[in-house]
């Protein structure tokens, strides 16, 4: 439902929607966390979609000025959508993007806050109108608090120049028709899904998952060693546990499979090199 443009708003804001400012988009830390997780998840999926050494097929940017937007009265409006996504690679160091030069984003996302919610959900003359008029194909608003809108995620798709409501799955997930992503709110936090419905890692989860993966590789190396060679020399377990670099651990798995004797394995795993300990295979010749 479109928000009415009230006389109170017209007195407070002679132009509606008002220009975004750094103060108006900052929000709470929880608000910013949602924005960071949106960008992180979307851009991780984009990187996985790209082939080796290829540019990403789409890219999310956060709170950079989007130029070329106009209000219903045709006056320019300065907007910094919380997240918007181009269907191409862009330079994330840029402070602004242009509808004229870069084309319209495929998706814009606004994370609800008390100060901007009215304009974000105003489809008559607010941002809902402005983004549609600019040709942004899909538009999503997210309220992780659950206090401003119900359901907490709502989505629209451009149809004949205006936004039409998009369907949401029964579990609350919205799937983009433009990008291979899904977005949902789970337990008050934004979740991004890839086309295989795998949830992407969020801030605070990456270190834990990497640690679990590292420990799993260390356990696999130790089990493989014990099955091949039986009891291990003193200190071997601690030395394996000291291998923490993922690339080194992957190399170590290859060494464990290839080494013919424990002596060869010791030499290849732990021989000191010029700069540091590496796992480079050494010739027996």
Domain positions in the chain are 7-194, 206-270
- At 158-180, the pLDDT tens digits run 999 999 999 999 999 999 999 99
Q: What is the DSSP letter of 100?
A: H
- For 225-284, give the DSSP string: HHHHHSSPPTTHHHHHHT---HHHHHHHHHHHHH-SSHHHHHHHHH-B-SSSB-------
pLDDT band at 143 (very low <50, low <70, confident <90, very high): very high
For residue 279, pLDDT beyond 50: no
The pLDDT value given to residue 233? 83
Radius of gyration of the chain (CA): 26
Q: What is the DSSP letter of 167?
A: P
pLDDT band at 5 (very low <50, low <70, confident <90, very high): very low
Which backbone phi and psi does 220 adopt, to 5 degrees?
-65, -40
Average pLDDT over the chain, rounded to an integer: 88
Sheet holding 181-186, edge to edge: 174-175, 181-186, 189-194
For residue 283, pLDDT beyond 50: no
For residue 210, pLDDT beyond 60: yes
Q: How many CB atoms lie within 10 A of CB 19?
A: 13
Residue 142's SS3 state is strand
Q: Show the DSSP H helices in the chain as ranges.
A: 7-12, 22-26, 29-49, 99-102, 117-120, 127-133, 206-229, 236-241, 246-258, 262-270
The pLDDT value given to residue 13? 61
**Cα 281 from Cα 267, distance rounded (Å):** 9
- At 108-127, the pLDDT tens digits run 999 999 889 999 999 999 99
- At 192-201, the pLDDT tens digits run 999 999 999 9
What is the CATH topology of the domain spanning 7-194?
tt1808, chain A (3.90.1570)
State pTM to two decimals: 0.80
The pLDDT value given to residue 10? 45
Average pLDDT over residues 272-283: 43
The pLDDT value given to residue 6? 43
Q: Higher confidence at residue 87 or residue 207?
A: 87
**Cα 190 from Cα 202, distance rounded (Å):** 9
- At 64-90, the pLDDT tens digits run 999 999 999 999 999 999 999 999 999
Q: Give which of 67, 83, 75 is closest to 32, Cα–Cα.
A: 83
């Amino acid at each position: 439902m479109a928000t009415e443009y009230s006389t109170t708003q017209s007195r407070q804001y002679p132009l509606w929607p008002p220009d975004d400012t750094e103060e108006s988009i900052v929000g709470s830390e929880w608000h910013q966390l949602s924005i960071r997780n949106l960008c992180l998840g979307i851009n991780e999926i984009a990187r996985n979609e790209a082939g080796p050494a290829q540019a990403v097929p789409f890219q999310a940017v956060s709170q950079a000025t989007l130029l070329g937007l106009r209000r219903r009265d045709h006056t320019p409006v300065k907007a910094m959508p919380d997240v918007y996504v181009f269907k191409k690679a862009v330079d994330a160091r840029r402070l602004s993007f242009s509808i004229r030069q870069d084309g319209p984003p495929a998706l814009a996302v606004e994370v609800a806050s008390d100060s901007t919610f009215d304009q974000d959900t105003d489809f008559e003359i607010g941002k809902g109108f402005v983004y549609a008029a600019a040709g942004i194909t899909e538009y999503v608003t997210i309220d992780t608090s659950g206090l401003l809108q119900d359901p907490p995620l709502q989505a629209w798709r451009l149809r004949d120049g205006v936004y039409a409501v998009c369907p949401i799955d029964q579990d609350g997930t919205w799937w983009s028709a433009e990008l291979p992503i899904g977005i949902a709110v789970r337990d008050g936090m934004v979740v991004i899904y890839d086309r295989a419905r795998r949830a992407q890692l969020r801030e605070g989860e990456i270190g834990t998952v990497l640690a679990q993966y590292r420990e799993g590789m260390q356990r696999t190396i130790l089990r493989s060693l014990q099955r091949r060679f039986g009891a291990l020399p003193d200190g071997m377990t601690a030395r394996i546990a000291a291998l923490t670099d993922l690339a080194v651990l992957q190399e170590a798995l290859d060494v464990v499979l290839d080494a013919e004797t424990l002596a060869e394995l010791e030499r290849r795993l732990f021989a000191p090199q010029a700069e540091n300990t590496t796992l480079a295979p050494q010739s027996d010749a």
